[in-house]
Every structure is written in C-alpha cells, then in structure tokens.
Amino acid sequence: MTTEVDYYELLECTRTADDATIKASYRKLAMKYHPDKNGGCKDHEAKFKAVSEAYDCLKDPQKRAAYDRFGHAAFKNGGQGGFGGGGSGDFGGFSDIFESVFGEFMGGGRGGPQQQRRGADMRYDLEITLDDAFHGKSDEITVDVSSLCETCEGSGATPGTGTRACALCNGHGKVRSQQGPFVFERACPGCNGAGAVITDPCTKCRGEGRVDTTRTIPFEIPPGVDHGTKLRLQGRGEAGARGAPPGDLYIFLHVKKHAIFAREGTTLFARAPISFTTAALGGEIELPGFDGDTHTIRIAPGTQGGRELRQRGLGMPVLQGRGRGDLVVRIDVEMPTRLSAKQRELLEAFRETETGEECPESTGFFAKIKAALG
C-alpha cells in the first residue's frame, strides 16, 4: 500500500499559504532536489517529482480547491473523484513549470539549442578627488579580462573548420527523459546545450572562443559625479563563450575627502575663521573655488560665530543637468591669543565704554541668572 504524502507538507507550506508563498517554496525545493544538481540520486529525483506534482496541483485554483475538499481522491479514476469531471488528473503542464524555473540555465524555449550566454559583468572601484568630481575628466583603467579570441574570431574552432550537429541531442541542445507522466528536460551533456560540437578546437583558446588579456579601457567621468556614482561601460566586461555577447564593466566612484570643502549632494560646505574685529565691524573674505575664480564673501557687522552664509550657484555641478548647487560658508569667530601692549590698551579703553547693549545676548543671560537666584 502506497502512502500518499500531503501536498502542503511536501511543499513545506500551511493550507492557508497564499500563491506567492507556495510558488517560492516550490522554487526552493525544486532547485534543491533537481536531479542535475544531485548526481542522479534516486531519492532526490523522487522528491523532485513529488514536489513538482504537488505544485502543479496547488498552483491551479480549481485543482487546489478540489484537493482541499477531497484530497488525493480528487484526481483518481480519471480525475472524477469529486472534481466534477473537470480534469483528467494529468500533470502535462509540468514541462512549463520546469522551464519557468530552470529556463535561465536551460537556455529558454523548447526544441532549440541553448541560447548563448553573455559574458560576465565586471566591477572596478576607482578613487577620485573632489576636483575631478567637479570638473569631470577623461581617464583610463587597466584590467585583466577575457577577450574575444582573435585567432578564431570567437568561434572556438580552428580557422577553416566548423562545427557539426551534436549526435546526442541531434542539434536541439537539450535531451529529454520520461518517467511515468513526467517529462524531464535538461541541457545536453554532449554539447553543453549549444546543439553543436567543434570538430577541431582552436589551439589558442582551447575551444572557448575567448582568452585572458590585459586591456586599457578609456572612459569619461562627467562633471557632478558623487561618492557611489556608478558608470556603466556597455560591452566592456568579460567576453562571452564562443562568440556570445560580452558583459558590461561597472566603475564605482569613490570621492576622497577634501581638506577644505565637504559635500552633500550639490551643496558645498566650508568653514571660514575670521577675526573678532571683522565679525564686529564687518568686512570681506576671499575664498577660492573649484571653478578657478576667487569668490568674495561679505561679512555683515555684528556677525556671530556659527552663522552660515549661503552663496547661490557656487556649489557642485548638477550631474547630467544644468546649473550648480550652493556654497555654504560657516563663520567661526577667532579670539586673539596674543596682544601687543597697544592692542591691550585699546581693548581696555573699549571695555570701559561698554554699556551692555553691545552684546545683548550675554547681558540678558547673566541678568536671567541673577533673577533666578533671587
């Protein structure tokens, strides 16, 4: 007597699980127990068939409703067991499930050779200065990468020779096997899914159609890039096998800290220490910019330390846009640490003339303390 395992138990789901949860669980289990991944283990193959059968039932709303009501009996005797004659118990849709899950490494669609896989993408991390980020620049990097074999022009075959249809799969790139109602389809082991085999492999690339090389790749850094900006160089990654399209090269930019300027988006920040006399009497300071100009910052009389002065349009360029952000200058008032006798005499004379109205905040603060202490 054969024990029938509950479909929900097979898929490690509860009976209240939604479609997305059931599908996700099936994908995980199908990848885990797929025969190609387990060296043809009979136990795993049986488990794979069982979870596929369970999913084929539970993914269909009508079949799931019948199963929830009648269990496995719903699909016995030609599918009439409580299913209202609406089904035959046939799991012929398994091939569609198989291809939806494994189509990527099986090469997609049925009945034809496996589609060529593009080469792998590559990543390169590059450190640049804030000045480079402001102006942009032409640059180049040297990378080790697989490139198209020039000897065979990527075909993998010795020049003057070609390929022949794979005898194992008759040029289809896939082989099928059937066990009961289930049809298993996988990439042909004779040609790795290509549908053809090389009769005389190229001696330089050993039939791969690509060789390892060192390349110098030029590229442009546009003005306004920021820390973490990603540049994509299409087709400059690893070459694909046997003439397949190459991958892309991604350059990740890292902007080094600047000694004077900090940055947030398109806004630049700078700290400007000024003398207490400039803060009291007002004046001007000059600040050089990345644009090569010297910018005059006006200081109003009575400017307090910590005040931020915003200069419109003096910040970073807008990436792939127009205009520039702002420059924010934070004022720090510096007190003198060394005074000449004449300076001390003048300051003493100034202090004698103070009425308290010159610095209302400090005067008010100490008045509040006195009032609080009675």
CA 85, 86, 92, 97 torsion: positive or negative? negative
Q: Does the structure show a pLDDT above 60 at 210?
A: yes
Reference 252, options 120, 123, 134; nearest CA is 123
Shared domain for 239 and 130, answered yes or no, is yes
Report d(CA 318, CA 226) in Å as an integer. Answer: 10
pTM of the model: 0.59
SS3 277: helix
pLDDT band at 92 (very low <50, low <70, confident <90, very high): very low
* 169 labelled binding-site residue: yes
* 191 labelled binding-site residue: yes
Q: Which segment, 9-23, 83-97, 191-205, 319-333, is predicted with the most confidence on average?
A: 319-333
In a domain, 157, yes or no: yes
Per-residue pLDDT tens for 50-67?
A: 888 889 888 888 888 888
Residue-by-residue DSSP string for 180-234: TTEEEEEE-TTTTTSSEEESSB-TTTTTSSEEEEEEEEEEEE-TT--TT-EEEET
% helix / strand / coil in the chain, to the nearest 5?
30, 25, 45
Shared domain for 274 and 347, answered yes or no, is yes
In a domain, 371, yes or no: no
Which of 56, 81, 106 is the last residue before a domain boundary? 106
In a domain, 33, yes or no: yes
Q: Does the structure show a pLDDT above 90 at 182?
A: no
- Read off the tokens for 214: 């060192």
| Cα dihedral value 337, 342, 343, 347, nearest 10 | 120
In a domain, 325, yes or no: yes
Shared domain for 156 and 191, answered yes or no, is yes
What's the domain range around 294? 262-365
Residue 42's H or E segment, with its range, is helix 42-58
More confident call, 306 vs 183: 306
Per-residue pLDDT tens for 105-158?
A: 444 444 455 556 788 899 999 999 999 999 999 999 999 988 989 888 888 888
pLDDT at 97: 40
Q: Does the structure show a pLDDT above 70 at 83?
A: no
Per-residue pLDDT tens for 16-40?
A: 888 888 888 888 888 888 777 766 6
Shared domain for 141 and 100, answered yes or no, is no
Q: Residue 3 corresponds to which amino acid?
A: T
Which of 233, 255, 277 is the last residue before a domain boundary? 255
- Count CB neighbours of 102 within 10 A: 18
In a domain, 61, yes or no: yes
**Average pLDDT taken over every residue of the chain:** 82
Find the CATH number of the domain harbouring 281.
Answer: 2.60.260.20
Check: CB of residue 295 under 8 Å from CB of residue 289. yes
* 205 labelled binding-site residue: yes
Shared domain for 132 and 236, answered yes or no, is yes
pLDDT at 229: 93
In a domain, 350, yes or no: yes
Angle between the 42-58 and 61-70 helix axes, to the nearest 10 degrees?
100
Q: Give the β-pairing of 267-275 and 327-334.
A: parallel
Domain count, the chain: 3
Shared domain for 39 and 67, answered yes or no, is yes
Which of 54, 78, 106 is the last residue before a domain boundary? 106
Find the CATH number of the domain harbouring 54.
Answer: 1.10.287.110
* 57 labelled binding-site residue: no
pLDDT at 275: 93
* 41 labelled binding-site residue: no
pLDDT at 243: 78
In a domain, 372, yes or no: no
